[in-house]
């Protein structure tokens, strides 16, 4: 994946966050507890790893959504912040996905974490997307806040262009700019979109499933798969623009990457129950069942796993969804060409579509193509 291949190795490779990384480096050297916050894909986690690599520090990453209560926080994070480095060098304790930690009093996870902060013997860095959640009101006073701002589209464009040139991909600059703007400041999303838009070493925007989301689907998947708090999982789809049919495909594609054996069976069982409610809603128009459908899709799948996988998992777009999208785009071109032919031959578009293979043979004649005045994309479609 390009996101791994071109992940920053030094702070100089972090784009658009000069002030943030300067302050981050100073805090790490002084062992000041720090909380990095900002939108997905702005370079928060990458900056920590690049800094650790540059300083030759040991780094221990923990995912706070894996710990559901006070005892687990004290055992795992508490042990990590006290333990000396194995190699007797600088050490960074990175606690990622802070949004996934429970803020309720009965769990006690957040309160336990705040008590541990003054005891840290190493550089402690917390990462959150939304630090202004009310459950973090007290935590904000105990750490130094560093904001990672959204990247502008020109910065993202320059990164994409550099990657495309290194990979020897044929591209148009306006296509790269389109991907840059569509990413809405999320560099990781833009790089992913670049890679998924390549066919035969050429950039083709027809392969791009547009990323117009208020909440990133990858973030929703992480909340479902990684958190142990069902209330957090239940809210994972609240601001997502994808319809539930697409969410089904995303979950179906990525469940096997997170779950194994009995947990895998339980996760697919929850997915199948959600599908039962979906069919009842469609068949009988019982929209009150929607709450059960979403519950099985989110909390049901989340609670199917006894232990969460703390490592990074590379979620991928559903192959079926991508194939459907490509087929839809190709069909749209076919319909557009058929309408032009229908007008020229005084027949119906439906009839032309039915006999399209026959008309396609006639369109091999350059004179006929010139008379129809088709676009370059439409001509290219006919030749494939």
Per the prediction, the chain carries an average pLDDT of 80
Kindly report, residue by residue over 249-266, the tens digit of the pLDDT: 888 888 888 888 888 999
Provide the domain limits for residue 349: 319-383
Decide if 203 is inside a domain. yes
CA 257 remoteness from chain centre: 15
Decide if 173 is inside a domain. yes
Are residues 38 and 151 in contact, defined by beta-carbon separation less than 8 angstroms? Answer: no
Kindly report, residue by residue over 100-122, the tens digit of the pLDDT: 675 554 456 677 778 888 877 78
The CATH number that applies at residue 160 is 1.10.8
Number of domains into which the chain is organized? 4
Decide if 307 is inside a domain. no
Decide if 308 is inside a domain. no
Do 41 and 109 have their domain in common? yes
**What are the distances in angstroms from CA 218 to CA 222, 248, 250, 269?**
6, 14, 9, 22
pLDDT recorded at residue 214: 37
Are residues 64 and 100 in contact, defined by beta-carbon separation less than 8 angstroms? Answer: yes
- Identify which has the larger pLDDT, 237 or 53: 53
Kindly report, residue by residue over 282-304, the tens digit of the pLDDT: 777 777 888 888 899 888 998 88
Do 24 and 141 have their domain in common? yes
Q: Is the pTM of this model over 0.85?
A: no
> What is the per-residue burial (b if ≥16 Cβ within 10 Å, else e) of 26-41?
ebbeeebbbbbbbbbb
Decide if 228 is inside a domain. yes
Kindly report, residue by residue over 26-50, the tens digit of the pLDDT: 999 998 999 999 888 888 999 999 9
Do 191 and 271 have their domain in common? no
Do 295 and 260 have their domain in common? yes
Confidence of residue 338 (pLDDT cuts 50, 70, 90): confident
Do 22 and 125 have their domain in common? yes
Do 105 and 22 have their domain in common? yes
């Amino acid at each position: 994946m390009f996101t791994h291949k071109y992940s920053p190795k030094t702070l100089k490779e972090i784009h658009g966050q000069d002030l943030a990384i300067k302050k981050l480096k100073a805090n790490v050297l002084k062992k000041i507890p720090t909380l990095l916050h900002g939108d997905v894909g702005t370079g928060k986690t990458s900056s920590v790893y690049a800094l650790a690599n540059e300083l030759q520090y040991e780094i221990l990453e923990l995912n706070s959504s894996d710990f559901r209560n006070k005892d687990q926080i004290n055992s795992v994070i508490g042990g990590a912040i006290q333990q000396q480095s194995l190699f007797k060098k600088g050490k960074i304790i990175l606690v990622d996905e802070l949004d996934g930690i429970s803020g309720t009093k009965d769990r006690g996870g957040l309160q336990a974490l705040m008590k541990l902060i003054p005891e840290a013997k190493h550089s402690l860095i917390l990462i959150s997307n939304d630090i202004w959640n009310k459950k973090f009101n007290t935590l904000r006073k105990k750490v130094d806040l560093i904001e990672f701002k959204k990247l502008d589209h020109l910065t993202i464009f320059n990164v994409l262009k550099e990657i495309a040139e290194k990979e020897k991909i044929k591209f148009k600059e306006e296509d790269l700019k389109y991907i840059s703007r569509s990413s809405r400041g999320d560099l990781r999303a833009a790089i992913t979109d670049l890679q998924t838009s390549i066919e035969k070493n050429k950039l083709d925007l027809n392969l791009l499933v547009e990323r117009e989301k208020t909440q990133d689907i990858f973030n929703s998947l992480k909340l479902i798969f990684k958190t142990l708090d069902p209330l957090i999982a239940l809210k994972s789809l609240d601001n997502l623009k994808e319809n539930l049919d697409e969410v089904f495909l995303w979950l179906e594609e990525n469940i096997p990457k997170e779950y194994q054996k009995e947990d895998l069976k339980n996760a697919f069982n929850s997915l199948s129950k959600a599908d039962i409610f979906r069919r009842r809603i469609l068949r009988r128009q019982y929209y009150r069942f929607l709450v059960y459908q979403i519950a099985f899709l989110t909390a049901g799948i989340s609670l199917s796993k006894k232990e969460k996988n703390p490592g990074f998992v590379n979620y991928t777009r559903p192959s079926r969804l991508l194939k459907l999208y490509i087929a839809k785009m190709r069909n749209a071109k076919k319909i557009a060409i058929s309408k032009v032919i229908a007008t020229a031959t005084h027949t119906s578009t439906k009839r032309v579509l039915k006999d399209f293979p026959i008309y396609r043979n006639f369109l091999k004649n350059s004179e006929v193509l010139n008379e129809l005045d088709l676009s370059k994309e439409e001509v290219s479609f006919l030749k494939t």
